[in-house]
Amino acid sequence: MFDFYIFIFKIESMSLLIAGFINRFLLCVEMTDSSLLNSELNLQQEEELYQQLLLQTMGQMQTENPDSKVIRPQPGMCVKTVSEPDKQKVFINICQSHSVPPPPELSKEELVELLQSDDPSGYRVPMSLGEPHTEVDNSSQGCTAYDVVINQDFFQKCQKDPLFHQFIILVSVEGLENKYSLELSRDWKVLKNRKFLGSVSEQNIRTKSRPVIEELQPEESQATPAKRPDFTLLVEPPTGDPEHLIAEIRLPGLPSSRSLVLDVGEDRLVLTARPSLFHLDIFHPFLVDQENSVAQYNRSTQILTVTMPVVSS
């Protein structure tokens, strides 16, 4: 299953990024690569049959799991790079779909200001990051390809502006690095005459997170705005590679956990205390194992502790 992933944009050296963009604009024509052309044309009929069978299977999965949906993305552009340090070929298929929500509106001036700011993580690009699949390049050599799906309107916007074009490639590269613990070269090439390597397949994306604490009382009408509770995020161990991310959320006046609804996503935590007591919606700095996250509420201290195993830093 493809989990719906909202990438928190992080760049280690923001001061060098603008200069890198400018240099890349000057070289964008030279970096195109037309070496991969029509390698799958002889398999068109077999591919159509495969897609029909896959669509039937994915439809059954969607029926069995109402918290997911099947999407069929459209090809967008294919980016060629290599993994580090082994220099293995990697292709990134950046696809487009209206099923993926768009990011907040951002002008070119705002993007430049964002890239130059000290905290660029405030702008997030919703995307679906697919599992790696093995392909064969035009030289009959094995390679790895990843499918990244973004909102179709945002993709078209990126195609019209060189700065946004390089921005969405960088976001896709860093998203794959964060999710799969990769290191990819920034010396990428956009293939001139190819929009996709391999075959475009349906994707099953998750539409909402599994609730950790189920609501046990009927929903009541909200008369007053809910408060944002105080909270603390802790990393265990404090030094070295993180193993667990622990959220301690203070909920004064809450007698029990019966009125709590908690959703833990890969990089997001949403908590609601009914009726209209507290509401917390935060993005956390690591990807976590949402299925194995646990929560405990201490009635004496009135603190909710959410323990989330870290899967990527």
Q: pLDDT by residue (tens digit) across 20-36?
A: 554 444 444 334 444 44
Backbone angles phi, psi at 244, to 5 degrees: -140, 145
* Residue 200 pLDDT > 80: no
The more confident residue out of 276 and 186 is: 186
* Residue 272 pLDDT > 60: yes
* Residue 11 pLDDT > 80: no
User: 6 Cβ partners below 8 Å, 6+ apart?
Assistant: 124, 125, 126, 127, 265, 266, 267, 268, 283
Least confident stretch, 48-52, 157-161, 231-235: 48-52
* Residue 279 pLDDT > 50: yes
Q: Which CATH class is domain 231-309?
A: mainly beta
Mean pLDDT of 272-300: 86
The more confident residue out of 218 and 181 is: 181
Least confident stretch, 147-161, 212-226, 244-258: 212-226
**In whole angstroms, what is the distance from residue 281 CA to residue 298 CA?**
21
Q: What is the pLDDT of residue 30?
A: 39
The per-residue pLDDT for range 116-145, each reduced to its tens digit, is 776 665 678 888 888 898 998 888 888 999
Q: What is the pLDDT of residue 20?
A: 52
Query: Of all residues in the chain, what percent carry a pLDDT higher than 70?
Result: 69
Q: What is the pLDDT of residue 224?
A: 66
Where do the CATH 2.60.40.790 domains begin and end in the chain? 231-309
Length of the chain: 313
* Residue 297 pLDDT > 60: yes
The per-residue pLDDT for range 40-98, each reduced to its tens digit, is 444 455 555 545 554 554 454 444 555 567 778 899 999 999 999 899 999 999 999 98
* Amino acid making up residue 22: I
Mean pLDDT of 228-256: 89
Contacts 24+ apart (CB under 8 A), 186-190: 186/20, 186/81, 187/81, 187/82, 188/31, 188/79, 188/80, 188/81, 188/92, 189/31, 189/32, 189/33, 189/79, 189/80, 189/81, 190/28, 190/31, 190/32, 190/33, 190/77, 190/78, 190/79, 190/80
Q: What is the pLDDT of residue 13?
A: 40
DSSP string, the chain: -B-EEEEE---S-HHHHHHHHHHHHHHTTTT-B-----TTGGGHHHHHHHHHHHHHHHHHHHHH-TTEEEE-PEEEEEEEEEBTTT--EEEEEEEEETTSPPPPP--HHHHHHHHHSS-GGG-EEEEEEPPPEEEE-TTS-EEEEEEEEEEHHHHHHHHH-HHHHHHHHHHHHHHHHHHHT--B-S--EEBTT-S-SS----EEEE-SPPEEE---S------SPPB---EEEEEESSSSS--EEEEEEE-TT---GGGEEEEE-SSEEEEEETTTTEEEEEE-SSEE-GGG-EEEEETTTTEEEEEEEEEE-
The more confident residue out of 103 and 15 is: 103
Mean pLDDT for all residues in the chain: 76
